[in-house]
Amino acid sequence: MALVPTPAYPVYYIAVLFAGGESFFMPLLRENNFLPDLDAIPGETASRARIMFINYPNNPTSAVADLGFFSRVVEFARENEILVCHDAAYTEMAFDGFRAPSFLEAEGAMEVGVEFHSLSKTYNMTGWRIGFAVGNSKAIEGLGAIKSNIDSGVFQAVQLAGIEAIRGDQSCVREMAQVYTKRRDLMVKGLRDAGFDVESPKATFYLWVRVPEGHTSTEVATRLLEDAGLVVTPGNGFGEPGEGYFRITLTQKRERLAEAVERIKAVVF
């Protein structure tokens, strides 16, 4: 059994499904700062579970976690003999001086977990499919054995580019974070002016926006597509607790985002 957050990047659940496993879904709710409530996991479920997926900074909610939360996860995993898999793809996409902690900073985390990082977001290498995993040596050894037998290695030129990115001057990462900060501020202000309830995230390039009262995620996404020519992702596509929200991605230039804001303001809900 796997402990899987919801709403979440769909791959966690799909990977468990492909492996013939069973998922127990951990709701990420606003009233809990979009962190899973470990105390709400039934004891029998916890004892059966063998793996837990977490992801902070989070997709799609853009929530962040602190070391206190990670320490509770370590304790929970140790008590129930669970392997923690932390998806840390967005740790470098942080704003306003915030630094997203690594799960492995928590005491004892190396004993119970692994952390996955992608170069896609940090270095704009999306589609190059390169990343790395760090953590528990036995888990990394097992991952290496499986990967070696189910797929082929990354093209060598991409590997060399990844090495250069990690070893090189990191000013590009800071500059990109500033770009996303400006885009975030523009969209948050514009959405609030349009009457939407949206938090200003500390990290990721996503906005997790509440839908207007009396509407569903799908209804809002459809209206924005048909009446404004905008594509947003309805929150229920990430899992049932995502209902009531939609996700906006800040990967367009500010000019395009400013145009999107004006189109959104023209749609009456």
What spatial distance separates the first Cα and last Cα of the chain, rounded to whole Å?
42
All domains in the chain, ordered by first residue: 2-167 (3.40.640.10), 171-265 (3.90.1150.10)
For 118, the 3-state DSSP assignment is strand
Q: What is the predicted pLDDT for the residue at 183?
A: 98
List 19's β-bridge partners, or say none: none
> Can you give the pTM of this predicted structure?
0.95
Two tokens at 49? 């579970």
b/e map of 42-70 (b: 16 or more CB within 10 Å)? eeeebeebebbbbbbbbbbbbbbbeeebb
b/e map of 235-247 (b: 16 or more CB within 10 Å)? bbbbbebbbbbbb
Q: What is the predicted pLDDT for the residue at 147?
A: 87
Two tokens at 213? 């009262």
Residues 124-131: contacts with CB under 8 Å, at least 24 apart = 124/176, 125/158, 125/161, 125/162, 125/165, 128/154, 128/158, 128/161, 128/162, 129/154, 129/158, 130/154, 130/158, 130/159, 130/162, 131/89
- Counting DSSP H helices and E strands in the chain, the numbers are 10, 10
* Weakly modelled stretches of the chain, pLDDT under 50: none
Q: Report which of 211, 213, 187, 210 is spatially closest to residue 200, judged by C-alpha positions.
A: 187
